Structure 1
Amino acid sequence: MQTKRAWRWLVMVMVLAVIGPVWLAPVAAQNADVTLTVRPAFQGFARAGTWLPVVIEVTNNGVDRTAEIVAGTPNGPFHSAIVDLPGGSRKGLTLYIHIQGAPRQLGVRVLVNGEEIATASARLQPVSEGLLVGVVGERDVRLPVLFTDGIKVTSVAFALADIPAEGLGLSPFDALILTDVAAAELAPAQRSALQAWVLRGGTLIVNGDAGISRTLASLPAELVPVTPGNLLPSISDPPLTPLALTPRNDEQHHVYPLTLPMLDSPTPLAFGQRYGDGNVVAIAFDLATPELSNWPGWRELWQTLLPSPAFIPSGMALGAKLYGAFVEENLASALTSLPALDLPSMNLLALLLGCYLIMVGPVTYLVLRRFDRLALGWVVVPAMTVIFAAIAYGAGFNLRGGDVIVSQISLIDAAEPGLARERDFIGIFSPDRSTYRLRAVGEAPLVRPITVQGPWSPGPTVNGRYVQIAPDGRVVEGLNVAQWSLQSVMLDQIVPSPGLQAQITVNGDQVQGEVINRSGQTLADVVVVYNDYLALIETLAPDEQRTVQLERPKHTFEGIMLGYLIYGPKFEESGRMGQPIPPELQLRGRILDALYGYGTGTRGAQPLVLGWYSDQRAQLELVDRRATIQRLALVRGIAQLQIVGEFTLRSGFAATIEQMSNMNSPCYAGNQIGVMPDMQPAVIRFTLPRSLQGLQVNSLQVAVRSDVFWNGRIEVYDWSQGQWEALSIDPMIQNLSAGLEQPARFLNGNGVMRVRLQRLDQGQSFSCVYVDPVIQGRMP
């Protein structure tokens, strides 16, 4: 009996030895008085580089508290809100979480005086490829899971109440489908959020159900492309009863009919409208019709209505990135070359180095020989090196080496007359290792970290907390910056349009532009550009209007990049004089290259108006720390294009890579983009300038050139039939120009053309293939 007791005590001691350290380990205090519930919006579907709304509810059954609610993913930034929690209260709030990578878990903590008193978590569903489409409203619209081309489609149904009050909260979606939405159910903040989301590039599809009038009445006026009318005669295949839609064409609306594949109707069944970088599409029939999903053209119909995927191929950046995130990281990397961080002049460095060489060389030798102490050279030379190093350090420190510098690059997209999208990239350069706090100058925006290493960086380090609700306007807390390092943050907001407007008239070889500056800022280096024609205005004062003649510069060559097209002569002049390019000019060129010179897209002949300005105002300011502020802003607008008579447009389509496997590679030649085709097909999408939507096409040719002969297939997408049509070409291709019969069927209402390339001989050497559609026509 005593032996059994001994063994029992021995087992207990062993158990305590194992679990004792766990009991004694420090743990966060959990308070039973505070409970926490978390619900990610959109069923937790999330994408890298976008914001996800998270609805949080906190109940406090204890004493009054002021708490900080912190939410985030394991590999992303932490976002927080400062809230008062009186005893017996229940508070709900929405935090917007910026997603990095493909996390599957979201964590939320409640902190009081830095001590954790409650935690909760929620599951996420990351989407890493294809399209994400939201279906909002009462109708159950079925979408294909996979397009004919292999593009994946993920659809999410959610209630109207889940539309967030902030447009960035809708950023995970490529498209939204509104079905039977009641006007009274959409709050003003939700209406503004939808408008901001479309302005940033979203595609809004209004379903043609019985409630289309109510749905359109719930939208902002800028997003209403049509007026619905009476029912039209039914269509038998598929069985549909369409509505009559009257397009709204005025100063705010440029509406065009969309060609829907395999649908035979005497009247258009869909209308589209460009708004900012996005689209609004109104459908004349109910997309929830059950028979539609069994119709042979169902997948082709949805591939026509939905935008192309916005992901960057894996060979272009580290990890899966959306195209917008790719461009933003390119832009943020330009913060490292701001003039505020420029090196000392070459003359100063040469003078310092020359004095050092003279002192440690002949001067030291002559002086030591004079005193017959040459053996002391091994002491004098290191001492002189230390002295000159101290002088160099002092000179560098005096050149603002001890200043905290807040540098800001702003990109203002002013495509619409009322609103504009402004993205601000803010870098904090610290002369010492410090922790910084930032607050908003005006209304507190959503702020997130961004890397300055470009798209090849895995992403910004998790650093600091990004505050969204705080009584003192704080937006960043605890941002650690190492000595002589740069940490950057970014904000994206909708602002009143600056009013930089231009119109370009093309009459044969004569290209004339009119530009007016209503921004309230004196703009420098205002450029009006169409294809490779441009006019440069050194300064344009507020409310000043100028008429300019656009010319083709002498240094222009085929495929020239926009930065070199504008500033090429100044770059060459600096090279001839043996001087470095001025820092601000270098920065402007780097920003333009980030936008147009490197990526999966080109500008084509999109008519643009650009202007720059600098001032000392910043969107964010440091708390309890003085700083030197420097800001450079680029205002970018789309000029209205008018072409007189019949015209031929070469290199005029803006090109983007729509689909490419890991076996293909992109190729670049300035303002042209190509692919290195392989056995897996690659798809390039070509888009006409938005002013040419509705063009009456007389002829359309596909010009193809490659580095070497290759054996392949070239196909063009027929929008009316929803299928690819192969070009009749020779077995071996290098340079060709193939005309297309009935060219209007290869161009949809958005002015989009799709070309697919595929190599047929696996053993053939690789070759870059460039495609340039050549179109001839006139405006109606």
Structure 2
Amino acid sequence: MLGGLLLVLLGFAAAAGAADAPGLSATIKAGFEGNYRNGEWFGVQVTLSNDSDDDRSGTLGLTAQGGLRAASLDIALPGHSRKQVWLYAFNSDYSGNIQLALRRGGSILLQRDVSLSFNDNSSFIVAVVGGEGGALSSLSGMTLGNIATTQGSGSSRTTVAHIGLDELPPAPAALDGLDALVIVDGDTVRLSEAQRAAVRAWVVGGGDLVIAGGQAGASNAAGFADTLPVRVAAPQPLADLSPLAMFAGSSEPITLTGQVVASGATLQPGARLLAASPDGNPLLAQRNYGRGRVSYIAVDPNLGALRAWGGYTNLWQSLFAAHYSGPTFNALNMNRYGFGASLLPQLDLPDPVLLFIILLVYIAVVGPLNYLLLRQLGRREFAWLTIPLITLLFAAIFYAIGYQSKGGDVLISRSAVVFASGQDDTALVAGTVGIFSPSRTSYSLSLSDTALAGDAGYSSSSSFGNTSANTSNLRLGAPNRLTDIAISNWQQREVAVQDNIKLPPQFSAQARLDGPTVKVTVKNLASQPYTDAVLYAPSEQQVSASFSLAAGESKEVALAKKYSGADQLVSDLSGGNGGRVYCCGSGGGVVYFP
């Protein structure tokens, strides 16, 4: 290869550029073994090595034709150094290729073409960590019915991607394109705190995390011990897997030639036991975690006896079966949840009655009154002067009315959806920030290190897909920043932001049946009051009347009114007040409008 450069390809094909600076090499891992879902963020892990004596510092970024929105990063790369960094991209086009480039000034130090595999919204994408011989590979390409993807439920074509633990991005939004994560063999303690927090937030938002047992069971579980449905104990021999066949609804037995290794375990409070060995050891268990689930299987799913079993597909289909019916969202296309951020009085037109009255006065003054006055003075020839002066005067009046109604201050509005685990302080937040500008200028937003942001999928002044409006740039760093948010005078732009946050449980709830009515006792666990809250149960399509809760107060409310969809409920009730949704359990929660 040119200049003796070494390009390491992992999971996809890439081509070296002809203008690479001497001494530079790159290892690139994009998406999930090259897979990404259209309309979702995905991560690109880049490892750069500089074997020369020269400094190769620059700006690392991604580009593509069409609807790619990508982050960039300033990277310091002195001589004889190696750096591993994450970039992120959001592709709303069907293009399968992107370009990675390291630039300094007007020069390109390194450039690579990256091929990606497109997956549409009907795909069910499973990432598998560890496992020899391609664990779960037999599911790839199969159509599984009654499966909940991140975009809805139905029959789904399965894509299986094999990744390493280090390929899990530390930004939760970059996991959005993933439906399930199965850890077959990986020491999860090695994950950084940011990676573990991102995985937990992804589960809270609706992901399926499966931790496998067997010889590697303890190390697989270690990083997520507090999240699992079981407490993993020492491994033990097992000679009968028929309970797994019963769970899968398969009449074909699982044939074992001898004993296999299964992780010992005890069921955690609140978890569901799906299958157990004859001596009561959990073989398959599950618990809700926010809108998602965490599952545990006591044996290595890569066992030859399991993979050769005719019910193997049914086992995973049953485990991944549709499980939530709560509101859905997309970080950059939150048309329902984010719309409240664009409802500002400053964006409304002035009162048309007032404008009509002023227009009538203008016509009367510039016409008959002006003529009568000049005739009275005997100076009708001055009309060439008085008419422009009157026009300027009323133009100033119209401008003053517009300025008074629009204002001269920069205004910030927010609307957010918060999905909480309901068990600890893990929460996923997705929302929009609206910026109203009284003048034509550009703005920057400061974000957390793990937040991803970009132009929202709608705007009060532009529409999704209008690339001329999507001019902002996401710059990664400490903190991340969204720059170059260009706004015309008296216009508003909306920016979509997604991140994980720490949020202690805000509410507790206990339900009971009172005849045909479900009544729920809700307690405010927070230190602040909540007003105009609504309790909803999406699975039953029921919603309560609005209520208020002081800090520490409990109140019983009834679920009665039928509603076609919880996501539409958020839109209809928000009215520009910036609604927040706190979800827990299997999707129910509290809609709160401050």
TM-score bin, normalised by smaller chain: 0.7 to 0.9
Q: How far is 1:189 from its partner?
A: 4.1
Structure 2 SS opposite 1:480: strand
2:302 is equivalent to residue 288 of structure 1: yes
Aligned position for 1:249: 268
Structure 1 SS opposite 2:576: helix
Cα distance between partner residues in 1 of 2:587 and 2:481: 37
Structure 2 SS opposite 1:299: helix
Cα distance between partner residues in 2 of 1:183 and 1:408: 36
Specify the code of the residue in structure 2 equivalent to 1:198.
V
Higher relative contact order (CA 8 A, sep 6+): 2
Of residues 466, 469, 494 in structure 2, which corresponds to 1:488?
494
Aligned position for 2:344: 338
Change (3 A) 1:323 1:507: closer
Q: Within 5 A, what are the aligned runs for 1:77-92?
A: 77-92=69-84
Specify the code of the residue in structure 1 equivalent to 2:26.
T
Aligned position for 2:41: 50
2:141 is equivalent to residue 141 of structure 1: no
Change (3 A) 1:196 1:550: closer
Aligned position for 2:96: 104
Cα distance between partner residues in 2 of 1:94 and 1:296: 40
Structure 1 SS opposite 2:360: helix
Say whether the 8 Å CA contact 1:526–1:611 is kept in structure 2. Answer: yes
Aligned position for 1:663: none
Cα distance between partner residues in 1 of 2:403 and 2:211: 60
Q: How far is 1:491 from its partner?
A: 2.3
Normalised to the residue count of structure 2, the TM-score between the two structures is 0.76
Aligned position for 2:224: 219
Specify the code of the residue in structure 2 equivalent to 1:121.
D
Say whether the 8 Å CA contact 2:47–2:82 is kept in structure 1. Answer: no
Structure 2 SS opposite 1:54: strand
Say whether the 8 Å CA contact 1:535–1:548 is kept in structure 2. Answer: no
Q: How far is 1:216 from its partner?
A: 1.9
Q: Within 5 A, what are the aligned runs for 1:424-503?
A: 424-440=431-447, 443=449, 445-453=451-459, 457-458=464-465, 461-469=469-477, 473=479, 475-503=481-509
Q: Within 5 A, what are the aligned runs for 1:142-541?
A: 142=136, 143-144=138-139, 145-147=141-143, 149=145, 151-182=156-187, 185-227=190-232, 230-234=236-240, 235=242, 237-240=253-256, 243=262, 246-250=265-269, 254-258=270-274, 269-308=283-322, 324-325=330-331, 328-344=334-350, 346=351, 349-361=352-364, 364-369=367-372, 371-372=374-375, 387-416=393-422, 417-440=424-447, 443=449, 445-453=451-459, 457-458=464-465, 461-469=469-477, 473=479, 475-509=481-515, 513-529=520-536, 532=542, 534=544, 536-538=546-548, 540=550
Specify the code of the residue in structure 2 equivalent to 1:451.
G
Say whether the 8 Å CA contact 1:270–1:282 is kept in structure 2. Answer: yes
Larger Rg: 1
Cα distance between partner residues in 1 of 2:570 and 2:118: 42
Change (3 A) 1:287 1:158: same
Moved more, 228-237 or 267-276: 228-237
Say whether the 8 Å CA contact 2:59–2:74 is kept in structure 1. Answer: yes
Cα distance between partner residues in 1 of 2:323 and 2:268: 29
Aligned position for 1:706: none
Specify the code of the residue in structure 1 equivalent to 2:29.
P
Say whether the 8 Å CA contact 1:200–1:277 is kept in structure 2. Answer: yes
Q: How far is 1:518 from its partner?
A: 4.3
Say whether the 8 Å CA contact 1:38–1:57 is kept in structure 2. Answer: yes
Q: How far is 1:534 from its partner?
A: 2.9
Cα distance between partner residues in 2 of 1:255 and 1:267: 14
Cα distance between partner residues in 2 of 1:380 and 1:539: 64
Specify the code of the residue in structure 2 equivalent to 1:587.
G
Give the CA RMSD over aligned residues: 4.3
Structure 1 SS opposite 2:218: helix
Say whether the 8 Å CA contact 1:500–1:609 is kept in structure 2. Answer: no
Say whether the 8 Å CA contact 2:41–2:88 is kept in structure 1. Answer: no
Say whether the 8 Å CA contact 1:52–1:99 is kept in structure 2. Answer: no
Structure 1 SS opposite 2:464: coil
2:586 is equivalent to residue 608 of structure 1: no
Say whether the 8 Å CA contact 2:406–2:490 is kept in structure 1. Answer: no
Structure 2 SS opposite 1:393: helix
Say whether the 8 Å CA contact 1:420–1:495 is kept in structure 2. Answer: yes
Say whether the 8 Å CA contact 2:102–2:108 is kept in structure 1. Answer: yes
Structure 2 SS opposite 1:152: strand
List per-residue Cα deviations over 1:546-589 (Å, max 9, x = no partner). Answer: 23242578xx5x54676998999xx9xxxxxxxxxxxxx6214x
Structure 2 SS opposite 1:77: strand
Of residues 547, 550, 553 in structure 1, which corresponds to 2:557?
550
Specify the code of the residue in structure 2 equivalent to 1:131.
F
Q: How far is 1:517 from its partner?
A: 3.8
Aligned position for 1:39: 28
Aligned position for 2:64: 73
Say whether the 8 Å CA contact 2:217–2:232 is kept in structure 1. Answer: no
Q: How far is 1:527 from its partner?
A: 3.4
Say whether the 8 Å CA contact 1:412–1:421 is kept in structure 2. Answer: yes
Q: How far is 1:532 from its partner?
A: 4.5
Structure 2 SS opposite 1:424: strand
Say whether the 8 Å CA contact 2:332–2:496 is kept in structure 1. Answer: no
Change (3 A) 1:293 1:517: same
List per-residue Cα deviations over 1:409-430 (Å, max 9, x = no partner). Answer: 2322234232222223122333
Change (3 A) 1:279 1:99: same
Please list every run of 5 or more consecutive structure 2 residues that lacks an aligned counterpart in the other structure: 1-16, 146-154, 243-251
Q: How far is 1:466 from its partner?
A: 0.9
Aligned position for 2:117: 125
Structure 2 SS opposite 1:587: coil
Please list every run of 5 or more consecutive structure 1 residues that lacks an aligned counterpart in the other structure: 1-27, 312-321, 572-584, 597-601, 614-780
Change (3 A) 1:561 1:185: closer
Cα distance between partner residues in 1 of 2:278 and 2:157: 27
List per-residue Cα deviations over 1:130-173 (Å, max 9, x = no partner). Answer: 11111111343233221265631110112233233343343332
Say whether the 8 Å CA contact 1:502–1:528 is kept in structure 2. Answer: no
List per-residue Cα deviations over 1:361-394 (Å, max 9, x = no partner). Answer: 4884255246559999999888756643432222
Q: What is the number of residues matched between the two proteins?
A: 536
Specify the code of the residue in structure 2 equivalent to 1:305.
L
Change (3 A) 1:342 1:226: farther
Q: How far is 1:591 from its partner?
A: 5.4
2:575 is equivalent to residue 586 of structure 1: yes
Moved more, 149-158 or 32-41: 32-41
Specify the code of the residue in structure 1 equivalent to 2:410.
V
Say whether the 8 Å CA contact 1:205–1:283 is kept in structure 2. Answer: yes
Cα distance between partner residues in 2 of 1:233 and 1:136: 26
Structure 1 SS opposite 2:439: coil
Change (3 A) 1:205 1:127: same
Structure 2 SS opposite 1:355: helix
Say whether the 8 Å CA contact 1:34–1:60 is kept in structure 2. Answer: yes
Specify the code of the residue in structure 2 equivalent to 1:435.
S
List per-residue Cα deviations over 1:675-697 (Å, max 9, x = no partner). Answer: xxxxxxxxxxxxxxxxxxxxxxx
Cα distance between partner residues in 2 of 1:567 and 1:97: 28
Q: How far is 1:405 from its partner?
A: 2.8
Q: How far is 1:65 from its partner?
A: 5.9
